[in-house]
Structure 1
Amino acid sequence: MDAKSLLEPMCSWAWWRTWVLILLGCSIMGAGFVLFINPYNFVPGGVYGMGIVLHNIFPSVQVGTFGYMFDVPLMLTALWIFGGHFGTRTVVAAFYTPGFMNILTRLVYPDQAAVESLDPALLLNGHLDLSNDLLLTCIMGAVWVGIGQGLVVRQQATTGGTDIVGMLLQKFCGIKFSTGIFLADGFVVMSGLAVIGFGLGTGEASSNGWMLTLYSLLMIYASSRVVAYMLDGASYDKLLFIISDHHDPLKKFIIEELDRSATYIKSKGMYTDTVRDMIFLVVSRKEVRQVQHKIKEIDPRAFVVVTDAYETFGEGFKQFPEKNEIQAE
C-alpha cells in the first residue's frame, strides 16, 4: 500500500466530519457540566458525576481530573473489546472532554478559590447564577449533556465512563444502551446522596440533599431520552394493516403519491370465511394522517389498524446496522 492510499481516508470529508462532530459533542457535554451541573452539585452519574462527588471531598482536585482517573481503565477495556478503530475515537473523546472541562472551569471562575468552591454566584461573575431555578438548570444540563453524548455516540465513539459500561451491558447482557447507562449511573447518584446529602466524608450535609438526588435522577432520565432521540430519531415509523375492496385506487395512491410500496397478505374473515388481500404498509409518522384521509376518501368502509413499527430497515428507511453499532434501545 502506497503513501497516497494511506492518506486518502484522512483527506475525505467523512473522516473530517466524524472528528469535528466528536470534538463538538465533547465540548457541548463538557460545557453542560461546567455551566449547569458542577456548580449546583447535581450528580448525573458517569465518571464526571463521581468526579463531582469526590470534588466535594477533595476540592483542590478538579472534576475533569477525576474523569481522567476513572477513564483510563475503562478506555483500555474499550480498546480490548471493541477494537482499535473504535478505541481510538473513544480515547480521543475521553482525553479531550476532561481537559476541556478543566480549561473552561478556569475561564468561567475568577480565581483558584472559586474553582475549588464551584460557587454558582461566582460563575461568569454571577451572570449565570441559576440557584433559584434548579429545575430549569437540571433540564438545561440534561439537554446539553444528552446532545453532546448523542453526537459522539452517533460517530461510533463514546465519551468514556458509563458510556462504555452501557455498551458492555448491551453487547454481553442484551440490555438497552440507554438503560445500561441509567443503571450504572444510579450507583453514582446514590454515592452523591451519601457524600453531598448526608455529608459522608465531608462532615457537611446539604440541607437539600434529597432534592439534589431527585434532580440528579431526573437529569439522568432526561439526558438518556435525549441520547435516544439523537440515535434513533424523534418517533417511530407506523405500520398499517388495511382491509378494503378498493385495491386499485389504494395501490395507485401508495405507489404514485406516497412514492412507497406495500405488500399483499392473504387474509380470511372469521365470520364470512371470505379470502381477501390485506395491505401491509409502513409509512413515517407524519404520513399517517395523509393515508387515513385518502383511505376514507376511497373506501369509508375500510378496516385499518395502525401500530408502531419500532425499527424499519430497507429501502426508504434505515440502513441495516453494522456489527457492534451502538443503538439507544
Structure 2
Amino acid sequence: MRERFVSSVFLEYMLITVGSALLAFGLVFFLEPNTIAPGGVTGLAIIIQKISGIPIDITNLAINIPLFILGLATLGKYFGIKTAYGTLILSVFIRFFMNIVGPGYVGVEDMLLSALYGGVLVGAGIGFVFKAGGTTGGTDLAGAILNKYIPSISIPKLMMGFDLMIVAAAGIVNRKIETSLYSIIALYITVKIADFIVEDLNYAKAFYIISDNPHEIGSEILKTLNRGVTVLKAQGMYTGSEKEVLLCVINRSQMTKLKDIVRKIDENAFVMVTTVHEVLGEGFMKK
C-alpha cells in the first residue's frame, strides 16, 4: 500500500514538472516575445515586463505569494504543497529558458503561429498540472479555489473569466488591438487544450444494447472484455413486450471488440453508444 502511495505521489509531481516545463517553454519561446498574454499571472507578468522590464519569473513569484496563502487555507496543506512546488518549478523553468534564448530574443515573427503554438503548449502544461491535482499559482489557483465552491464549472473555464481582463490589457500596453485578438486566440486554445486533458483524455464509452440474446451477449462481454454488464428491465412502448437492456461501460480501446461481439451474436441488435466523461469504481480510475 505504501509503495503504491509513493508511486502515485511521484507520478503526480512528475506531471507537475513536465507541465510546468511545457508552460514555461510556450511562454518564453512563443508568447512573451510578441506580448501575447494568454491570461493568468504569467500573462500579467508579460505585460508588467513590457512596461517595467521586471522579469516574468520574478513577477510570477511575487504575485503568487498571497494567492498561495489563500489556497493553503482554502484547499488544504496537501494541495498547498503541490501549488508551492508548481509555482516554484515554473519560475525555475522560465528562468532556464530565458537564459537559453538570451536578451533581445524576438521569437516567431508570425503572431498567429505564436498564438497557436504558445496556446497549445501552455494549455497542455496547465492540463498536466491540473491532472496531478496541483496548480502553478495565479488564476489557475484562483480557479481551483472557486471550483471547490462551484464544482459544476471546470477550473479552466473559471480561469477564462479572470483572464479576459489580462488579455484586454495586453492590447492596451502594446498599443495594438491585434495583440488582444491574438491573445484571445491563445487563451481560447489554452482553455480548450487544458479542458481536454483534465476532462476528456480519460473518457469512456457506455453501451446500451437491446437484443433478443442479451444473456449470450453479456456472457461474451464478461469473458472476452472482462467488463461488468448490468441488466436493465424495460418495456417496448409499441409492442408492450418486456425487454432486457444491457448496460456496459468500457474503455475507448475496447469499442471495436464490443461491436464485433454484438454483431456476431445478434446483427439486428439495437445499440446506443454515449460518451462518459468520468467513471469511478472497479476497473476504472479511482478519484
Query: TM-score normalized by structure 2?
Result: 0.89
CA shift in 2, pair 1:156/1:234, >3 Å: closer
Q: Is the 8 A contact 2:200 2:277 kept in 1?
A: no
Once the two structures are superposed, residues 290-327 of structure 1 have per-residue CA deviations (whole angstroms, 9 ceiling, x without a partner) of 323332332222222222223222112221x2xxxxxx
- Give the distance between the partners of 2:271 and 2:6, measured in 1 at CA: 48
| 2:76 match | 83
| 2:112 match | 135
| 2:277 match | 310
Q: Is the 8 A contact 2:22 2:121 kept in 1?
A: yes
Matches of residues 1-329 of structure 1 in structure 2 within 5 Å?
Answer: 12-59=6-53, 61-109=54-102, 111=103, 114=104, 119-120=105-106, 129-132=107-110, 134-174=111-151, 175-196=153-174, 205=175, 209-234=176-201, 236-319=203-286, 321=287
Report the Cα offset of residue 14 of structure 1. 4.5
Report the Cα offset of residue 139 of structure 1. 2.2
Q: Secondary structure at the match of 1:264?
A: strand
Report the Cα offset of residue 263 of structure 1. 0.8
Q: Secondary structure at the match of 2:189?
A: helix
Q: Secondary structure at the match of 1:54?
A: helix
- Give the distance between the partners of 1:12 and 1:313, measured in 2 at CA: 21
Q: Is the 8 A contact 2:143 2:156 kept in 1?
A: yes
- Give the distance between the partners of 2:124 and 2:108, measured in 1 at CA: 21
Q: Is the 8 A contact 1:25 1:150 kept in 2?
A: yes
CA shift in 2, pair 1:96/1:308, >3 Å: closer
Unaligned stretches of 5+ residues in structure 1: 1-7, 121-128, 197-204, 322-329
- Give the distance between the partners of 1:22 and 1:83, measured in 2 at CA: 18
CA shift in 2, pair 1:304/1:23, >3 Å: closer
Q: Once superposed, what is the RMSD of the aligned Cα atoms?
A: 2.3
- The structure number with the bigger radius of gyration is 1
Q: Secondary structure at the match of 2:208?
A: strand
Q: Is the 8 A contact 1:244 1:278 kept in 2?
A: yes
- Give the distance between the partners of 2:209 and 2:88, measured in 1 at CA: 53
Percent identity among equivalent residues?
27
- Give the distance between the partners of 1:12 and 1:284, measured in 2 at CA: 26
Query: TM-score normalized by structure 1?
Result: 0.79
CA shift in 2, pair 1:283/1:155, >3 Å: closer
Q: Secondary structure at the match of 1:282?
A: strand
Report the Cα offset of residue 12 of structure 1. 4.4
- Give the distance between the partners of 1:106 and 1:301, measured in 2 at CA: 65
CA shift in 2, pair 1:235/1:222, >3 Å: farther
Instruction: Tell me whether 26-35 or 265-274 shows the greater mean CA deviation.
Output: 26-35
- Give the distance between the partners of 2:91 and 2:264, measured in 1 at CA: 59
Q: Secondary structure at the match of 2:275?
A: strand
Report the Cα offset of residue 264 of structure 1. 0.8
- Give the distance between the partners of 2:81 and 2:18, measured in 1 at CA: 17
Q: Secondary structure at the match of 1:272?
A: coil
Once the two structures are superposed, residues 270-301 of structure 1 have per-residue CA deviations (whole angstroms, 9 ceiling, x without a partner) of 11111121111212233333323332332222
Aligned amino acid, residue 71 of structure 1: N
Q: Is the 8 A contact 2:20 2:126 kept in 1?
A: yes
Report the Cα offset of residue 88 of structure 1. 1.9
Q: Is the 8 A contact 2:156 2:191 kept in 1?
A: yes
Q: Is the 8 A contact 1:65 1:102 kept in 2?
A: no
Q: Is the 8 A contact 2:61 2:91 kept in 1?
A: yes
Once the two structures are superposed, residues 86-131 of structure 1 have per-residue CA deviations (whole angstroms, 9 ceiling, x without a partner) of 212212321332243234313311x5xx3xxxx41xxxxxxxx420
CA shift in 2, pair 1:310/1:92, >3 Å: closer
